[in-house]
Chains A and B, each alone.
Chain A
Amino acid sequence: MENLVEIENVTFGYNARPILKGINMTAKRGQVVAIMGSSGCGKTTLLRLIGGQIKPSKGLVRVAGQNVAELEQDGLYELRRKMGMLFQFGALFTDMNVFDNIAFQLREHTSLPEEIIRDLVLMKLHAVGLRGAANLMPSELSGGMARRVALARAIALEPTLVMYDEPFAGLDPISLGVIGNIIRRLTDTLGLTSIVVTHDVQESLKIVDYVYFISEGVIEAEGSAEEMRASDLPFVHQFVHGEPDGPVPFQYPAPPYAEDLGLSL
């Protein structure tokens, strides 16, 4: 299988604070790839690098063979039409109803007649099970529904790559299962490539083909879902089983407790 996304030795930091330190990673066509790690470890930054919203300070990001950092605005926009992105809280346009949200890209980038747009939008909505909610405003949707609408919007132009930023955050167990299911099904039926950024291990291990674990800007472990479940690397073990203490310590680095309290031993 061919690589759709290739990340080679990427380093990135805001100001002087490094967030990513030499990341290598690939996503093959037709795969669901998960990027896991604790909060604030630079997972979302990775997605922004792939989308070309920020440029790496060192290293290469290639999507479909093109170096993202070197593209001009036109080339970048051309590339982004083949990408869909699901933002953490959906990022639906609050001044439009569900239908118009999904029709947005079709209206901006194509000159299709309104009847065809209507059919396409209803198809996308049907795929996420919300055809009946076409006329609701985003403020009338529950968190899970908003996420599904955003998903329908992300696939509106039938992209080859879809990125999901924390698709499971803050959802009830039912919605969680529904979203996971949709991601897997869409990837298989539409022949997409999916990159899922998440810290929800149990839910994502059910649907992914390949997993990268990131901690403090470096890749700690990678492999298929089964390999990760069986892994005895301390970091992966702690993460998969949700143990409070381990390689990722419970305590934020601090001087010795007794010393801080002024006790002399």
Chain B
Amino acid sequence: MIAPLRVIARLGRYTLDGISRTGFAARFFLATLLHSGTAFRRFGLTIREIYFAGVLSLIIILVSGLFVGMVLGLQGYETLQTYGSESALGVLVALSLVRELGPVVAGLLFASRAGSAITAEIGLMKATEQLSAMEMMAVDPVARVIAPRFWAGVISMPMLAAMFSAVGIFGGYLVGVVLIGVDEGSFWSQMQDKVDFQADIINGVVKSVVFGIAVTAIALFEGYDAPPTAEGVSGATTRTVVTSSLAILGLDFILTAFMFRGVS
């Protein structure tokens, strides 16, 4: 075949591969939802996975949240004081965290801490034929292994994002009020005045739930789809972090466009 044709043929191959992989991923996601009964009937299985996905991510989430909040307090103060409106520091810190940074940064950290661990674990279970063995024991691996991990991720993510925001606001308070000396009353009261429960906090929680679904589904699929070799699993782990980070940022843009349209 002549060179330009070969390029076009390759483009066609990539497209077809991409479509079939997407189709496989969609079927896998659907199967996970359909076989979720076990994850709730035997909630102990899901609790175990919440420990691995959620509790073990706590340290990194709490420490990062505190520092992000402290930096926001410091930078926000620098900028706001030029306009003489340091009293709005609380608003700035709280809104940035609750609307954007909480869900997004917690999501990115969750992807690299829990997502990669999930992919590696599932990939390894596949490579060492544990999933095959389970199937031969007449136990459906999607119901027994995949679904509990999926729901654990979906439950853990909003919790982690909320903790990230709360700790971050505390960090902003530490720097702004305790260290720099912004008035404590106006810090909290302006924050309460401007942060709306429905528009800001609920929307932030919705975002974090969506990110939880995206990250966990991607991590599980990559693990399940990984070639059963050492390179296969390590490649899949990397892909999980990259794909789910991009998914978080992309989804965040779309969700923000829908949620905060027309709101100041």
Contact = CB atoms under 8 A, between A and B. Distances in A.
Do any beta carbons of A and B sit within 8 angstroms of each other in the complex? yes
Interface of A: 51, 53, 73, 76-78, 80-81, 83, 85, 87-89, 91-95, 104-105, 108-109, 157
Contact of B129 (A78, A91, A108): A91
Given A89-B129, A91-B133, A95-B121, 15 more contacts: A53-B135, A53-B136, A73-B140, A76-B138, A77-B140, A78-B138, A80-B136, A81-B137, A87-B133, A91-B128, A93-B130, A93-B134, A94-B124, A108-B137, A157-B137
Given A87-B129, A93-B130, A104 B137 contact: yes
A85 B138 contact: no
B139 interface: yes
Contacts of B140: 73, 77
Contacts of B36: none
Q: What is the predominant secondary structure among interface residues of chain A facing chain B?
A: mixed
A51 B138 CA distance: 10
Q: What is the interface residue range for chain B against chain A?
A: 10 to 19
B217 to A, nearest CB: 21
Contacts of B121: 95
14 contacts: A53-B136, A76-B138, A77-B138, A80-B137, A81-B137, A83-B136, A91-B128, A93-B130, A94-B128, A95-B121, A105-B137, A105-B138, A108-B137, A108-B139
B132 interface: yes
Interface of B: 121, 124-125, 128-130, 132-140, 144
A87 B138 contact: no
Contacts of B133: 85, 87, 91, 93
Q: Which 6 A-B pairs have the closest CB atoms?
A: A77-B138, A91-B133, A91-B129, A80-B138, A85-B136, A87-B129
A109 B128 CA distance: 23
A91 B138 contact: no
Nearest to A150: B133
A91 B136 CA distance: 11
B220 to A, nearest CB: 16
B137 A91 contact: no
B139 A53 contact: no
A94 B126 CA distance: 12
A38 B132 CA distance: 23
A91 B130 contact: yes
Contacts of A157: 137
Contacts of B130: 91-94
